[in-house]
Structure 1
Amino acid sequence: MNFLSMIFDDVINNPLPDDLPEVLLPAFSRLEPFALLLKDLHTKGWSIQDDFFSDAFTDKLMEEVRGIQNESMLQAGVGRKQGHQVVLDARRDYIKWIDPINETRKTFLDEMEALRVVLNRQFFLGLFDFEAHFARYEKGAFYEKHMDAFKGQSNRILSTVLYLNEDWQEGDGGELVIYDEQDADRELGRFLPKKGRLAVFLSEDFYHEVKVAKRTRHSIAGWFRVNNTTAKTLDPDQ
């Protein structure tokens, strides 16, 4: 049983809050966009949701990342702040952190903020904020098996990946593989990075990897975080 189940065993029987801002709803593909996601997190600690956002809004996000030249992106690395390193044997994607510089990016961040509010109400996680970046995996790029956080050493609690790719087919590679929290060698599933698919999982519990992409692959990776700032240490972001 994952820790969400232990914290709030009967949460899924409670109704979703009815005071979410109505302006956010058009970007979602259904009126209660969080219900299935919450149920999965409650029962198994990870979730794959297809068509989480509307087709039109996902297209807008794809337009955003397509408009970014590689020269304007960072070669993704391993570690954060002073510990950050570019390790091409581990990962080969390019990233661009998302700030609310236009309506599309602001809407995405606002909607993930709405999800943060619901997660805190339902599971009492104390999530403080959400950070995200566009990710581009060109042909041949990958990300080896890893965990987004290690217990007691990170402020990342929930990881999210939203896929933006049109017409992704079997054989195109780039699958997300999620491994069992009790057995890191056992696959729980392989998921194509198809348009509109959202993956969410506990950052400290699940190893995962990105298989070699056979064509250019775009996504948005994000993390819901707690604030670990102390009197001696400032909690890092990005």
Structure 2
Amino acid sequence: MSTILSSNVYLNDLETYGYTITPDALNNELINDLITDCHRTALYFSAAKIGRLNDLQIDQTIRKDKTFWLDGSSQAQLTYQAIMESIKTTLNRQFFTGLFDYECHYAKYTQGDFYKKHLDAFKGRSNRVFTTVLYLNSPKRGGELVIYKPKSKQIEVVIKPVAGTLVMFESERFAHEVLPAIDERFSIAGWFRKNTSISGVIDPPR
């Protein structure tokens, strides 16, 4: 499988810090295939939304990126999804998290695009457990990911986008933002999820 990701490193980091940053997590061939596939789907990108289900809405005062949800329509997507499935199994064995799904989309930030500080999950109200970001290119300027200390305005870490770097963090614990892009920035944003279906109410995928 097209990965050199060391489970010992990212598991130790997740357990100790709640987040992990892995440069060169996937090999260059797969990264190239993914960025090519990302460009292939360019016509199908749409303005990113906030909220879930009936509350989904476009609010470009909060985020201005464009997204395309991976649908398994290329070998590159299938390979990436298989890798994340393997990571999901490892996370379940290590942390007993009950993860059952991984969802992800391509994200494109052009000049001036941003995503203001937010949480991907609210405690007790979301099925998202771990957030992932895989960078597909290396913009020289802008588009940094800022992760904040839990329940704080203080910055924990600022991550410059570099192709092949995989970032993973606890969705409920860390607020984060994407600073305005100057050069185009491409990535795959994803979430490992648990099943929160109860009393006949089906847990939605997004």
Instruction: Answer yes or no: is 1:189 the counterpart of 2:161.
Output: no
Q: Are the counterparts in 1 of residues 106 and 187 from structure 2 also a CA contact under 8 Å?
A: yes
Deviation at 1:182, TM superposition (A): 4.0
- State whether residues 37 and 74 of structure 2, in contact with CA within 8 Å, keep that contact through their aligned partners in structure 1: no
Q: Give percent identity, aligned residues only.
A: 39
Tell me how far 1:173 sits from its aligned partner: 0.6
1:135 aligns with 2:107: yes
Is 2:128–2:194's contact at 8 Å kept on the other side of the alignment?
yes
**C-alpha distance in 2 between matches for 1:136 and 1:126:** 31
Q: Which residue of 1 aligns with 2:200?
A: 232
What does residue 115 of structure 1 align with? 87
Return the offset for 1:29: 2.7
**Partners in 2 of 1:75 and 1:34 — Cα distance?**
34
1:1-238 aligned within 5 A: 24=1, 27-29=2-4, 33-69=6-42, 71-166=43-138, 168-169=139-140, 172-183=141-152, 185-238=153-206
Structure 2: 5+ residue runs without aligned partners?
Answer: none
Unaligned runs of 5+ in 1: 1-23
Compute the displacement of 1:46 (Å): 0.5
SS at 1:128 equivalent: strand
Question: TM-score w.r.t. structure 1 length?
Answer: 0.84
What amino acid is aligned across from residue 132 of structure 1 in structure 2? Answer: C
Amino acid at match of 1:141: D
Structure 1 runs of 4+ with >2 Å offset: none
With CA pairs under 8 Å and 6+ residues apart, which has the higher RCO, 1 or 2? 2
Give me the whole-angstrom Cα distance separating, in 1, the residues matched to 2:50 and 2:135: 21
Contact preservation (8 Å) 2:129, 2:171: yes
Q: CA deviation at 1:39?
A: 0.6
TM-score (norm 2): 0.97
Count of residues in Structure 1 that have an aligned counterpart in Structure 2: 206
Inter-partner Cα distance in structure 1 for 2:38 and 2:11 = 28
Deviations 1:16-52 (A, max 9, x none): xxxxxxxx2xx1135xx22211010010101111000
Q: Shift of residue 102 of structure 1?
A: 2.0
